[in-house]
Structure 1
Amino acid sequence: MSNQRFPLPDVGEGLTEAEIVEWKVAVGDTVAVNDVLVEIETAKSLVELPSPFAGTVVALLAEEGTTVDVGTPIIEVGAAAPELSDSRKEMPAREPDSSAAGSGSGSVLVGYGTGDDGAAPRRRRRRSATVPELSEPGAATLARESDSSREPGGIAQAMVSVPAAAPSGTTPATRVRVLAKPPVRKLAKDLGVDLASVKPTGPGGIVTREDVVARAEAAAPRTLATYADDDQPWLASGSVTDDGRQTRVPVKSVRKRTAEAMVASAFTAPHVTVFRTVDVTRTMKLVEKLKGDKEFADVRVTPLLIAAKAVLLAIKRHPEINASWDDDAREIVYKHYVNLGIAAATPRGLVVPNVKDAHRHGLLPLAQALGELTATARAGRTTPTDMSDGTFTITNVGVFGIDTGTPILNPGEAGILAFGAIRQQPWVHKGKIKPRWVTQLALSFDHRLVDGELGSRFLSDVARVLEDPARGLVWA
């Protein structure tokens, strides 16, 4: 059976590349159909790729940390190699046949042949586990074995020269075997780590990836931090400049996708932002009541939940805002469904998963959907499907103590609402100044689709529901 190569698939909608995050298999491993091969990071999420066929891993064609185009082979799998019988494993190599030498040669080096094209190739004899000294004191010693010399299972055997003590002052060399898989050897080469200096911790004395990384970190100069207590985890994938004053981090994955989308949106759709300051005291009272309701005991109830419901009710009253601009077809696409996006800050960057068909959800199902959505996003497990086909977005900047902002539209959407921090402030209520819970709303919209009147009416309706949540019963 011939070897099969697995090309990187498009795991999203039109994604063109992905980063190899972590291989779950190594050369020589046996895999079955649907076994997880690798974890990749696309511009939208982390995804585990299962194996489409069974066999033995022959080669990993892409290194961890590299970005690979869709359709590029990333792993080669072949049929499992048959085990050799004990008699074949112990079979010694044939002695060189002196008759095979050419007439002009005096001797033949074992393993190199005679140069006669008609001579049959000899099988290389397997070396014993204990490697003897190869030279007498003062004599030169071979210090490197060919990279193609590997044990079964894909473990490369690196031969290095280690000087041995000699009482007479000479320096005899002993060839020591270092066991490491090809990806680990490649990593050591990239990091400038001498495998002979690495203490192996793997089974049978194998040098693991962790061993090489630990050795490299021990030898590397300490990265300078801006502040003494600043661990700066975002610098982990970067390289420090020679003077130690800067770290350069490649732009990739979620950060790259976010930058491209925001630039495209900002310079394609004409943005307009309108603001509204709102008394949300009744909303805060409703939140406290729902927290004590047994039906909401297993979900997280926050003012964002009421804001999300207010947006859905406002879209129902003003469906024109739930649209997108198709520049290629020169058409406006009105959506008869609402996929409500919630911007979430994660260690990988900003992602915007959306609740599918949110317009169909009552308050409790909406709370459950929002809880699952945010938990999945923070765990870095949001799928590309969860972030596709959004129609309207809410960005909750209030959780960071920010009053409001001018958010940039997600591509393909006509509106985005910034929900600011809720603070207790003096407010005129029924002709008297009283302390009230107040927040600010900001609505950015695509002025090609939404004019000032529509945008203002929409934001006003969102504010009216937050001022008096009972109004939602009338509009529902």
Structure 2
Amino acid sequence: MTTEVRSLREFKMPDVGEGLTEAEILSWYVKPGDTVTDGQVVCEVETAKAAVELPIPFTGVVEQLFFPEGATVDVGTVIISVAVAGAAGAPAAPAAAPAPAAAPAEAAEPERREVLVGYGPRTGGSQRRARRTTAAAPAPVVAPAPVATPAPVEAPVPAAAPAPAVAVTGDRPLAKPPVRKLAKDLGIDLRAVTPTGPDGVITREDLHAHAAAAAAPAPAVTPVAEQAVESAVEPVTVPVAVPGAGDVRVPIKGVRKATAQAMVASAFTAPHVTEFVQVDVTRTMKFVRRLKENGELGRDVRVSPLLLVAKALLTAVKRNPGINAQWDEAAQEIVIKGQVNLGIAAATPRGLIVPNIKDAGAKTLSALAVSLGELVDTARQGKTAPGDMQGGTVTITNVGVFGVDSGTPILNPGEAAILAFGAVREMPWVHKGKVVPRQVTTLALSFDHRLVDGELGSKVLADIAGILEHPKRLITWG
């Protein structure tokens, strides 16, 4: 007589991006006892580059979750075990708790590695720098019971109840990953929020409305003067201290940790020089309005001043290709890049990211507008793939959306220049021999003085300013 037995299969934290060694578990979508199928998403994790949903590569019943939400787990560590129906025979021995060291290869069928965020399955093991550990591996989470909030506390919300370690899938609220992250930062239970988005999806505005209704009124913030400048940049959500509630400590991990390390490396490796110029962009703002009203670039194409600034920078790079360069320390060479991959600095709830438009210099104004719109939408949804943040050659950061006139931007590591686009303001300006109100902005260009001298940096900045003063040159120069 044939009897069905069950064997335990273990799913390890996969390598969801190049060079990454760990990931944080943002949320579990299953609990012990749930049935899962091959390809079903079981959890969402955050790396230093992006948030990714992980599918399970086999079918069975969830036996154990080894880490709670919020835990940072090394790549290759078992995070979940599943009881899988097997062939007749003696039952397999229960699986042991995961060890920090790499487990030996299974004698049975090799575990299939799921293809994630654009990277194919790997055929061999990867070598990584050993991480220093200071504590034993976390105890397994065997049931979806509430756990105490670990210190430090990210956001003190007096009325918030402790969140369960494992999410329940029966009535899981609908929300996009950035919104879930924002809810976690604010200490809001999504099940208590009234959704207003399509198909019952909870939006960022729903969270803010819920927080405003539940908390005491916060000090009013004077809004930035309205201006016709759109941007890829969104405010970064940071937990704020409540008066009288004491200090707030925010763990540095994920995207914020990677950004901090990159900025320190850039600031203390490349000698930065920043130049500034004020520009009369009245004609540019009129050109933007004309393109919007006439739909010259396409009916559904998003047109903004940032688009014309990007095109002006690309045109200046075409005329001065030395600015699109990289310093090769090992070879002691300056590498002039063959194409321009235009980065757009975007502040997201997870931190600063710089996705880039590949070969942006070869795009027409219309194609550039489409690519810019797609980049912005993807970044705001928290779905930017790691590959979209690699290989940038020059970057724009739009600080004007915050009402800031200018700044000294730090170079994105490996790039030679970054342009800061400031607020557009109506100011008195000498135009055709008379002082009249004009729309003016300040541009700041930081560059690596090892490979960009003052002459080249000044020529690039002057070219950008000249194009924005007379934007019809964009049509002449492509």
TM bucket, shorter chain: 0.5 to 0.7
Structure 2 residue 354 is the aligned partner of structure 1 residue 352:
yes
Structure 2 residue 51 is the aligned partner of structure 1 residue 46:
yes
SS of alignment partner, residue 291 of structure 1:
helix
Deviations 1:136-169 (A, max 9, x none): xxxxxxxxxxxxxxxxxxxxxxxxxxxxxxxxxx
TM-score using structure 2 length: 0.67
SS of alignment partner, residue 79 of structure 2:
strand
Deviation at residue 374 of structure 1 after TM alignment: 1.2
Unaligned runs of 5+ in 2: 1-5, 88-140, 152-163, 171-187, 193-213, 222-235
Deviation at residue 229 of structure 1 after TM alignment: 7.4
Deviation at residue 13 of structure 1 after TM alignment: 2.3
Q: Using a 3 Å threshold, how does the CA distance of structure 1 residues 203 and 322 change in structure 2: closer, same or farther? A: closer
Q: Which whole-Å CA distance do the structure 2 matches of 1:407 and 1:289 have between them?
A: 31
In structure 2, the residue matched to 1:235 is 239
Structure 2 residue 269 is the aligned partner of structure 1 residue 264:
no
Q: Which has the larger radius of gyration?
A: 1
- Indicate if the aligned counterparts of 1:26 and 1:57 stay in contact, CA closer than 8 A: yes
- Indicate if the aligned counterparts of 1:30 and 1:80 stay in contact, CA closer than 8 A: no
SS of alignment partner, residue 31 of structure 2:
coil
Structure 2 residue 439 is the aligned partner of structure 1 residue 431:
no
Q: Which one-letter code corresponds to 2:251 in the other structure?
A: P
Structure 2 residue 187 is the aligned partner of structure 1 residue 185:
no
Deviations 1:233-255 (A, max 9, x none): 7339x9x99x8311112111121
- Indicate if the aligned counterparts of 1:32 and 1:55 stay in contact, CA closer than 8 A: yes
Q: Which whole-Å CA distance do the structure 1 matches of 2:220 and 2:457 have between them?
A: 46
Unaligned runs of 5+ in 1: 83-180, 192-197, 205-212, 218-222
Deviation at residue 329 of structure 1 after TM alignment: 3.8
Mapping for residues 25-174 of structure 1, pairs under 5 Å:
25-80=30-85
Q: Which one-letter code corresponds to 2:58 in the other structure?
A: F
- Indicate if the aligned counterparts of 1:56 and 1:81 stay in contact, CA closer than 8 A: no
Q: Using a 3 Å threshold, how does the CA distance of structure 1 residues 182 and 439 change in structure 2: closer, same or farther? A: same
Structure 2 residue 214 is the aligned partner of structure 1 residue 254:
no
Q: CA RMSD in A?
A: 3.2
In structure 2, the residue matched to 1:278 is 279
Q: Which whole-Å CA distance do the structure 2 matches of 1:399 and 1:25 have between them?
A: 40
In structure 2, the residue matched to 1:12 is 17
| Equivalent residue pairs, number | 351
Q: Which whole-Å CA distance do the structure 1 matches of 2:393 and 2:303 have between them?
A: 24
Q: Which whole-Å CA distance do the structure 1 matches of 2:404 and 2:237 have between them?
A: 24
Deviation at residue 328 of structure 1 after TM alignment: 3.4
Mapping for residues 219-368 of structure 1, pairs under 5 Å:
227=218, 234-235=238-239, 244-294=245-295, 295-368=297-370
SS of alignment partner, residue 238 of structure 2:
helix
In structure 2, the residue matched to 1:446 is 448
Q: Using a 3 Å threshold, how does the CA distance of structure 1 residues 186 and 285 change in structure 2: closer, same or farther? A: closer
Q: Give the stretch that moved more between structures: 406-415 or 321-330.
A: 321-330
Q: Which one-letter code corresponds to 1:250 in the other structure?
A: P
Q: Using a 3 Å threshold, how does the CA distance of structure 1 residues 59 and 334 change in structure 2: closer, same or farther? A: farther
Q: Which whole-Å CA distance do the structure 2 matches of 1:190 and 1:431 have between them?
A: 66
Q: Percent of counterpart pairs with the same letter?
A: 59
Larger RCO, structure (CA 8 Å, separation 6 or more): 2
In structure 2, the residue matched to 1:456 is 458
- Indicate if the aligned counterparts of 1:310 and 1:472 stay in contact, CA closer than 8 A: yes
